[in-house]
Each structure stands twice: as structure tokens, then as C-alpha cells.
Amino acid sequence: MANKITPRAQDYSLWYNDLVKEAGLAEHSSVKGCMVIKPYGFAIWEKMQAELDHRFKETGHQNAYFPLFIPKSFLSKEAAHIEGFAKECAVVTHYRLKSDGKGGVIVDPDAKLEEELIVRPTSETIIWNTYKNWIQSYRDLPLLINQWANVVRWEMRTRLFLRTTEFLWQEGHTAHATSDEAVAETRQMLDIYADFAENFMAMPVVKGTKTANERFAGAIDTLCIEAMMQDGKALQAGTSHFLGQNFAKAFDVKFSDKSGNLEYVWATSWGVSTRLIGALIMAHSDDDGLVLPPSLAPIQVIIVPIYKQMEELQKISDAANVLMKELKAQGISVKYDDDDTKKPGWKFAESELKGIPLRIAIGPRDLENGTAEVVMRDTKSKQVVSFSELHKEVPKLLKQIQDGIYLKALKKREENTYYPNNWDEFSEIMKGEGGFAWAHWDGTAETELKIKELTKATIRCIPFDRKEEKGQCILTGKPSEGRVIFAKAY
RNA sequence: CGGGGCAUGGCGCAGUCCGGUAGCGCACCUGGUUUGGGACCAGGGGGCCGCAGGUUCGAAUCCUGCUGCCCCGACCA
């Protein structure tokens, strides 16, 4: 089999790039740092969107859309926020081009904007500027809005899906009458992300709180879900922020409570991005191609006919059509690949590359025996199933794959999770394959930065479910109340 | 912002050192044989060699300048 994909063991990072390209998920555009998301990759994103959007609506959120451009002055209203984003903003300074007289165009110096516009790196400022007009009374609260949008962050170093200059995401922005309610919203949305990651992406995650160093610019508290990739590195898969009254104060958003007192509102924001596609790839895929969870696979089942004469193909097609009808009736997406210009072997390899969970081959032997060959993408296991059982067997096998890849990822994470008690143990872990190191930390930003400098590992989160446990910081030996998760991260 | 690499048919590359009719694989088109793990034969179409100058009888190749993208590091979701 001609493999176009670099094996993981040889070069993990090259494997990832090859996979994204060869599976047809995305490619580099001619714009530096920006990608073209191709139809197959976008189909996965659409499935993610559909599921998340459904969950947002179920919890009372509505979609809206805010401008791509943000007046420069808005960004500077919240001090921590501008501090965090200033270094990576694209700025629009002019609104017109003109001919350079040599067949090209130049920026027209006479068309300078009075106030420069920032291409949104996130939308808190424009949204809170708007919320000021939407919120007067406690009756206007809570305000629960989400938007699906693109944002731009001018990163120095980019990678397809994981970090691109422009990316797609959703950002929720909510306003509440009380702190407690906003805190509960922050946690609710994180739980939705975690549930989505585990049950749809089949990717186990740890829920926790970010340290001050890793916190969102302008937040009081940042919650996150962290997943472990196959190379042992951590990837932040979603964040949910409790913003306190920071943006309400910056944009003067007040409401009158029941007793007529004017109060600042309490805010949250939360988001996941196309980065999730990168996470999905690195969580499950192998050297032959993508491995997709059935719940996110654009095509869940592919049927490949094997035939010599056209009459044979006709008989197989008749059988395949019956099966397709039965599967589609159960909401299963199925493709019948009767393209005569490709051989079965080519189709097999291609379906593996694309991560199609189940492949059903029907040939002359099967017609005779009333069977089909069913192959599971994750384990490559083959079995012969009687034709009359297929419509019952397929959903079972899809479920089995969904559960199987989750458990495999969980096992991988457990095997690469350590509990070092001193610096030697800790640094040894970070020198090797990596993984999650649950370790004691003295709680200071200085220590965290020092550890990062020494090992490149950062604190991914302070996990919600950690035990109360007295210990000593692995670097300074100072007292600690519980372990935090260190890892090298994407 | 440093370090490296690349730019030649749709894609991947050779050719550049040593200047002399632009080539290979894949893909594509036509016909035939094939089809249970990336088929084969025959024929065919397609290229401002990244851009701009220069040297030369002659430049993909030598010289000068520019541009773009990718990879590796420091910042970040």
C-alpha cells in the first residue's frame, strides 16, 4: 500500500500535516497563516456546529451577529483586555485603493480612516458596547447570546486548524443580574463543552480552572477543558470565562433591580473553535488516515461493490440500495461508491484515509451467500455479516466504534498521567514522552513561569476533581493544598 | 523577529554546480483489457520555469534586486 502519510512514530508533527492535507480537510492558502477549509473538513465543522448550536438553544441562548470591525477606542476600554490582545491585532487604516498608474493599485493616502478599525480578535468590546443599549432593567436579564463568526489573531507561528491567523468559532456572551448566576452560567457552558467533547468527539477531557497566567484577558476566572493528544501534549479544547463586572464597568452597562437601584451587570463569555478539528485528528487518527467518531463523521458507512461484469454490478447495486434505504431510515449517513473508474483496493484505502467508520464490501461471493464484509475503521477488524442482519448490526457497530475510540483515548491518557512528588521525577517526565503530570505547586505565578522556563511545561488547569492533599511544591518545596496538572501544550 | 527550506503543466518532483529544442511520476482525455487491499497496455492534451532587471549569439540554469509560502524557535486559543 502506497502510504502518503508520514508515520506518527517518525515525525508526529509531519504526520499531522500530511493527514490534514491528504484526507482533504484543509490546505494552506496563498495568504500567510490562513487556511482553506475544504468540503470534507468543513462538513465535520458543520456537524460540530449543529450539535453545539442545538445544545446552546436548549439552554436558552439565541444567535446573533456583531460586526467584524471594532473601533480602536473600544478595545482599550478594558485595561487587561487590551493588554492581552494588542500584540496580535490586524488594523484597518484606509478604505480605498487607487491606481498606481503602472497597472497596479496602491492604498489611497487620501482615504485614511478617522478612527482605525480593529479586525475582531474576539468580540467582548463591540458586544458590551451594544449591550449597554439593550439592558436597562432586571427584566432584560439574563441576556443569553451566541454568535458564530470568524476572528483574526495575528500569530507569529501557525498550524492548520490548531492555530491560524483567521479561524472560525462561536463566542457566547451573556449578561446576568447576579454574580452567582453568571458563575453558574460559566460552569454550565463548560459542562456542555465537556459533554460534547466526550460524547461526540469521543475525546476525554479534564475540567478545571486556569491559573492567573493562563487566564483570558479581562476575566476574573477562566474555566477550561483540556484533552491529551496521542503525543502526550495537552490541548485546550474549550474555555468559559466569568468576567465579573469588568466589561459592564468598562462599557457602563447598568440595570435597575427590583428596588430601583442601579447595578452593574455580571458577564460571561465562552467559546470553541475550528481548533476542535485539530483535536479530533490528534486524538484518534492513525498512520493510515483519519479515525472519526461516528457521531461526527460526514459519511458513517461506505458501501463498496466488487464486480467483474456490469450485470454483477447491477445485482450488487440492487442489494446495496435496499441496505441504504434501511440505514438512512435510521438516520445513518451512507455512501454507495459505485464509481467505475476506481478499483476496490483504491476505495478501501481512500475510505481509511477519510476515516469513514464502517466499510461494507459486497461482491459475487456475498451475493451467493447472502452476506457482506464489514470492516471497522478503528480496529480494522473484518467480519462477515448476513445481509438480513446488517440493518441491525450497523448501528451496533457504529456505537461500538464511538465507545471504543473514547476508551482507547482514555486508556492512553491514563497511561500517560503521572503523579511526581519531586523535581527529579517531574523533569524526567517532561524530558520524555510527555503526558499529564499532577503535581504540587506553591500557587505563585513566579514558580509557574520558572517551571515553564525549565521544562516548557505549563499548568494546564487546576482540576475541579482534585483531592485536598497537603504537599510540597515540586520546585520550591513550599506548602500546597492540592495537585495541579502540568503538561507541554499546543 | 531570528535560523533554515522552497518557488518548473492541476499535484509531487528532476533539471540549476558545468548556459544550447523543458522532462519524469501521479492526475486528466480516448480506446481496450481489468475489478475481494491503492490495475495494466496503447495513444493524447496541457508549462509567462515566482517577479523585475542585468550578462550572453543564446538563460529554468550565471549575476543583482524583490516577492510569496512552508518548516524550526521566542508570543498565543
DSSP for A22-51?
HTTSEEE-SSTT-EEEPHHHHHHHHHHHHH
Domains and CATH numbers, chain A: 12-284 (3.30.930.10), 301-403 (3.40.50.800), 417-487 (3.30.110.30)
The string of pLDDT tens digits covering residues A58-87 is 999 999 999 999 999 999 899 889 888 988
Whose grid coordinates read 466569568?
A242
pLDDT score, position A1: 38
Q: Which nucleotide is nearest to A289 (CA to C1')?
A: B38
Buried b (16+ CB within 10 A) or exposed e, A438-451: bbbbbbeeebbeeb
Q: What is the ipTM of this complex?
A: 0.91
Distance of CA A279 to the CA centre of its chain: 6
Instruction: List the one residue out of A115, A175, A184 whose CA is nearest residue A144.
Output: A175
Residues of chain A with pLDDT under 50: 1-2
The integer distance in angstroms from the CA atom of A40 to the C1' atom of B6 is 28
Residues 6+ apart with CB under 8 A from A363: A305, A306, A307, A316, A373
SS3 state of residue A438: strand
Pairing mode, strands A69-71 and A112-119: antiparallel
Please check whether strand B approaches the CB of A61 to within 7 Å: no
Please check whether strand B approaches the CB of A214 to within 7 Å: yes
A55 grid coordinates = 445544545
Nucleic chain B: which protein residues 269-288 of A have CB below 7 A from it?
273, 275, 288
pLDDT score, position A156: 86
Q: Which nucleotide is nearest to A345 (CA to C1')?
A: B37
Pairing mode, strands A166-176 and A206-209: unpaired
Nucleic chain B: which protein residues 357-386 of A have CB below 7 A from it?
361-367, 372-373, 375, 380, 382
Nucleic chain B: which protein residues 298-317 of A have CB below 7 A from it?
306-309
User: For chain B, which bases have at least one atom within 7 A of a protein Cβ?
Assistant: 1, 28-29, 34-39, 68-77
Please check whether strand B approaches the CB of A467 to within 7 Å: no
Please check whether strand B approaches the CB of A341 to within 7 Å: yes
**Residues A116, A89 contacting (CB under 8 angstroms):** no
Sign for the pseudo-dihedral over CA of A365, A378, A394, A336: negative
Residue A261 CB neighbour total at 10 angstroms = 9
Q: Which nucleotide is nearest to A453 (CA to C1')?
A: B74
Query: Quick one: chain A helix, strand, coil %, rounded to 5?
Result: 40, 30, 35
Please check whether strand B approaches the CB of A72 to within 7 Å: no
Q: Which nucleotide is nearest to A363 (CA to C1')?
A: B36
pLDDT score, position A3: 59
The integer distance in angstroms from the CA atom of A453 to the C1' atom of B73 is 14
Nucleic chain B: which protein residues 441-460 of A have CB below 7 A from it?
456
Burial (CB count <10 Å: 0-12, 13-18, 19+), residue A429:
buried
Please check whether strand B approaches the CB of A54 to within 7 Å: no
A210 grid coordinates = 486556569
> Which residues, in sequence order, are bridge partners of residue A174?
A144, A268
Please check whether strand B approaches the CB of A338 to within 7 Å: no
Please check whether strand B approaches the CB of A30 to within 7 Å: yes
Please check whether strand B approaches the CB of A39 to within 7 Å: no
Nucleic chain B: which protein residues 387-446 of A have CB below 7 A from it?
none
The string of pLDDT tens digits covering residues A263-275 is 999 999 999 999 9
Instruction: Name the residue closest to B71, CA to C1'.
Output: A14
Please check whether strand B approaches the CB of A344 to within 7 Å: yes
A10 grid coordinates = 517518525
The string of pLDDT tens digits covering residues A283-342 is 999 999 999 999 999 999 999 999 998 899 999 999 999 999 999 999 999 999 999 999
Please check whether strand B approaches the CB of A165 to within 7 Å: yes
